[in-house]
Amino acid sequence: MEWVEIDGSYGEGGGQILRTAVALSVITGKAVRITRIRANRPNPGLRPQHLHGILALKELSNARVKGAQVGSTELEFIPGEAKPRHIRVPIKTAGSITLVLQALLPAMAFVGGNFEITGGTDVPWSPPVDYLKHVTLFALEKMGLKVELEIKRRGHYPKGGGLVVGSVEPWGERRSLKALKWNRVERFAGISHATNLPSHVAERQAKAAKERLKELYNVPVEIETEVSRSLGPGSGIVVWAETDKLRLGGDALGKRGKPAEVVGKEAADELLSQLRTGMAADKFLGDQLIPFLAFAGGEIGVVEITNHLVTNVWVVEKFLGKVFEVEGEVGGPGVVRVMRRVEV
């Protein structure tokens, strides 16, 4: 059995190292040992949201795992044979559903299957589910990967209770993605939601975002509003720019005492700042696409080369050897090129 050794404190040093490493372990069949997990964080070791991603991949690949408990700073993951399964992930808190999917999707791409995850759909420090659905999956579909995703119920901090279901078709034709700079913005779209709150919250968020986007771009803006019930209150908005290349996104979450207008304007301003460099992929999408690009090939222009992106490249290359060339400095715009497409 071939082992890959990963230092969990490298670079950005967070949960993303775990998600990418364990997904690649399933894809390649190589066992992985991760040490010093989140060593430089205030509360080192595995947190519940990381654990759920690891356990989902354990189920997908019938793996043997050592050290899979909260607080553990070392993990051994020995994959078995991955098969299409119905993966259920019951996060009892508002732990992020999208971060679990960041671990699951690359591995599921190679076998297919479906998933049902409860937890947080719109929570701090993680991509909102609408961003994943409308920005990330849009880019993956251009690479030939088909993922269906349905938001059955929203879940906000602290109670969670969100429910997301979906399915992944085995990745047949892997199409290389070439998206360096966009030439034109065709339209803006978005979803503004309010859960266990009055409908005017969603409407005011949407109106503020729309007005802000209209100030700078003379293109159609269509922001849907959604009002729903769940375990606890919460609101948020995701907006995206449809360009001739990919979609770029911006988002904001509501919180008690924060006017809905401020939430809407914040999301629009984040999107406008992503559009300024003219690069095709926003700073969040850039690092999310790294594991997929290794197998599809291509080159993308990113608004910002983040620590997350650089760390993700490092993890991928621990498993697959030299794959990428990253042009540009951390904190600024750049280009990520696949030098050698990996066959599995």
Tell me: is residue 284 an annotated ligand-binding position. yes
Of the candidates 275, 304, 331, which is a domain's last residue? 275
CATH code, 15: 3.30.110.150
Residue type, 224: E
Of the candidates 81, 101, 124, which is a domain's last residue? 81
Task: Tally the domains of the chain.
Answer: 2
Quote the domain boundaries for residue 40: 1-81
14-32 pLDDT per residue, tens: 899 999 999 999 999 999 9
Tell me: is residue 292 an annotated ligand-binding position. no
Strands 185-195 and 221-228: parallel
Of the candidates 252, 275, 298, which is a domain's last residue? 275
Q: HSE-up of 8 (CA within 13 Å, CB side)? A: 26
Tell me: is residue 269 an annotated ligand-binding position. no
Contact 157, 110 (CB under 8 A): no
Tell me: is residue 288 an annotated ligand-binding position. yes
Specify whether 308 is catalytic: yes
Strands 3-7 and 31-35: parallel
Q: Quote the pLDDT of residue 48.
A: 87
Q: Identify the helix (H) or strand (E) that includes residue 3.
A: strand 3-7
For the record, the structure tokens of 138 come out as 């849009």
Mean pLDDT of 121-149: 97
Is 55 contained in some domain? yes
Number of H helices, E strands in the chain: 9, 16
Q: From edge to edge, which strands make up the β-sheet containing 234-243?
A: 221-228, 185-195, 234-243, 247-253
Distance CA 84, CA 227 (A): 34
Is 282 contained in some domain? no
Distance CA 67, CA 31 (A): 14
Residue type, 289: L
Is 67 contained in some domain? yes
CATH code, 250: 3.30.360.20
Q: Quote the pLDDT of residue 101.
A: 97
180-203 pLDDT per residue, tens: 999 999 999 999 999 999 999 999
Phi, psi of 33 (to 5 degrees): -120, 120
Is 163 contained in some domain? no
Is 26 contained in some domain? yes
> What average pLDDT is seen over the chain?
97
Distance CA 334, CA 318 (A): 22
Is 218 contained in some domain? yes
Q: Quote the pLDDT of residue 12.
A: 87
Alpha carbon 267 to chain centroid, angstroms: 17
Tell me: is residue 49 an annotated ligand-binding position. no
Q: What sign does the dihedral 322-328-330-333 (CA atoms) show? A: negative
Is 309 contained in some domain? no
Identify whether 48 is preceded by a cis peptide bond (ω within 30 of 0): no
The residues, ordered by sequence, that sit 6+ positions from 76 with a Cβ below 8 Å of its Cβ are: 31, 32, 33, 65, 66, 67
State the catalytic residue, choosing from 50, 52, 193, 308: 308
Tell me: is residue 188 an annotated ligand-binding position. no
Q: Identify the helix (H) or strand (E) that includes residue 13.
A: none
b/e string for 115-141 if b means 16 or more Cβ within 10 A? bebbbbbbbeebbbbbbbbbbbbbbbe
Mean pLDDT of 36-63: 93
Q: Indicate if the pLDDT at residue 344 is higher than 90.
A: no
Is 10 contained in some domain? yes
Mean pLDDT of 257-285: 98
pTM for the structure as a whole: 0.97
Of the candidates 315, 286, 290, the one whose C-alpha atom is nearest the C-alpha of residue 18 is: 315
